[in-house]
Amino acid sequence: MLVQAIFSLLAFTPTSLQYPYPMRKRAFSNGPVITDNFPDPAFIEIGGSYTAFSTTSGGLNIPTATSPDFNTWTYTGVDALTNIPSWSSGNTWAPDVIQLADGSFVMYFCATVSSNASFHCVGTATSSQVGSGYTASDIEFACPLSQGGAIDPAGFQDSDGSLYVVYKIDGNSLGGGGTCGNGNGEYSTPIILQAVEADGVTPTGDPVQILDRDSADGPLIEAPSLILVDGTYFLFFSSNCFNGPDYDTSYATASSITGPYTKASSPLLVTGGDNGTLNSPGGATVGPDGSQMVFHSDSVSDNPDVRQMWTAGLTISGTTVSIS
């Protein structure tokens, strides 16, 4: 069985019930499919059904939602991760899930470090079922505290079956000042690629930097989501600060998984998109075949307190991605 890459969501509350949108693929959902706070969404498809995961919200470590068709989403009220690892004080962000060849599931997430609430590190958890019952490991997966910690992990399976995790080194958490703590660009915020063994949780080899911010990205890049389509690797990411109008979703492409990656000439999602309805759209996760995407958009301009989940259809032609 091929690994199914899940994807990352964040915070939402149990008042979200159902939002019927009948088409399986379309340019954008008819407004948000989850109207409560559900930032940085991730999803996985198993047997034709979808499960989405979010950052901590509504008293749950990792909230979940389900859909039979990618369009009608139902909040479950189930906490997928009921225990916090011993190295963390909680505040779980940006989960992502893959399915292993044996049918079990691995969740990647980040959480605050007990010794310093300014930093997050990446952890792992495992379960025999997709939407619940995850048990967190007490061993950090990635924890480069001297560089600012690590956030926004996402799993990936290459065409040869090899497994990888991408994540962001959270350099802006070192507090250089200005926008998102890195307004002057003092700190690097690279996207890292880490190969893992068949268990999905054991790193193998050294981590490899595959992308970093430049002046056009503002203080940071983050929220990586990696896919492979027709021999081209697509690395989706967000840039600029999440709490401002410049936050966006873009992508870079490469012919090799380790790069070099070339950034697209313009972002895929920006504030004002979809006839002016999108506000700071980011935290996107793209399905393995490149046709489906989830992302969040602020409910009110420049207010990240409620980041709602949207869906969109994508078309990939060569190295170009477009909303379809």
pLDDT of residue 8: 41
pLDDT of residue 30: 84
Q: Is 40 a catalytic residue?
A: yes
User: Mean per-residue pLDDT for 266-277?
Assistant: 93
Strands (DSSP E) found in the chain: 42-46, 49-53, 64-67, 74-75, 88-99, 105-113, 116-127, 135-136, 150-157, 163-169, 191-196, 208-211, 221-229, 232-239, 248-254, 262-263, 282-286, 292-300, 303-317, 320-323
Q: Are 201 and 140 in contact (CB under 8 A)?
A: no
pLDDT top residue among 137 and 306: 137
Q: State the Cα–Cα distance between residues 191 and 193, nearest whole angstrom.
A: 7
Q: Would you list the DSSP string of 94-139?
A: EEEEEE-TTS-EEEEEEEEETTEEEEEEEEEEEESSSSS-BEE-SS
Q: Please check the confidence at residue 10 and state whether its pLDDT lies above 60.
A: no
**What mean pLDDT, rounded, does the chain reach?**
91
Tell me what percent of the residues of the chain surpass a pLDDT of 70.
92
CATH top class, domain 42-323? mainly beta
Q: Is 69 helix (H, G, I), strand (E, B) or coil?
A: coil
pLDDT top residue among 16 and 239: 239
pLDDT of residue 24: 42
- Which of the four pLDDT bands, split at 50, 70 and 90, describes residue 1? very low
From the DSSP assignment, how many helices (H) and strands (E) are in the chain?
1, 20
Range in 5-19, 61-75, 143-157, 269-283 the model is least confident about: 5-19
User: Mean per-residue pLDDT for 206-223?
Assistant: 97
Joined together, the tokens standing for residue 73 give 């989403």
User: Of 40, 140, 217, 248, which one is the catalytic site residue?
Assistant: 40
Tell me what percent of the residues of the chain surpass a pLDDT of 90.
82
- Which of the four pLDDT bands, split at 50, 70 and 90, describes residue 115? very high
User: Of 45, 96, 152, 222, which one is the catalytic site residue?
Assistant: 222
Q: State the Cα–Cα distance between residues 102 and 291, nearest whole angstrom.
A: 26
Domain borders along the chain are 42-323
- Which of the four pLDDT bands, split at 50, 70 and 90, describes residue 203? very high
pLDDT of residue 18: 36
Q: State the Cα–Cα distance between residues 165 and 238, nearest whole angstrom.
A: 17
pLDDT of residue 275: 83
Q: State the Cα–Cα distance between residues 66 and 80, nearest whole angstrom.
A: 12
pLDDT of residue 175: 85
Report CA dihedral (44, 45, 47, 50) to the nearest 10 degrees: 90
Q: Please check the confidence at residue 21 and state whether its pLDDT lies above 60.
A: no
pLDDT top residue among 18 and 184: 184
Joined together, the tokens standing for residue 231 give 């021999």
Q: Please check the confidence at residue 185 and state whether its pLDDT lies above 50.
A: yes
pLDDT of residue 222: 99
Residues 6+ apart with CB under 8 A from 303: 279
**Neighbour tally for 76: CB within 10 Å:** 18
pLDDT top residue among 222 and 275: 222
Q: State the Cα–Cα distance between residues 51 and 124, nearest whole angstrom.
A: 18
- Which of the four pLDDT bands, split at 50, 70 and 90, describes residue 26? low
User: Mean per-residue pLDDT for 45-65?
Assistant: 95
Secondary structure letter of residue 76 according to DSSP: -
User: Mean per-residue pLDDT for 108-129?
Assistant: 98
Secondary structure letter of residue 2 according to DSSP: P
Residues 6+ apart with CB under 8 A from 74: 16, 17, 18, 65, 66, 67
Q: Please check the confidence at residue 15 and state whether its pLDDT lies above 80.
A: no
Q: State the Cα–Cα distance between residues 50 and 321, nearest whole angstrom.
A: 23
pLDDT top residue among 223 and 38: 223
Q: What is the pLDDT of residues 56-106, one digit of tens each?
A: 998 999 999 999 999 999 999 999 999 999 999 999 999 999 999 999 999
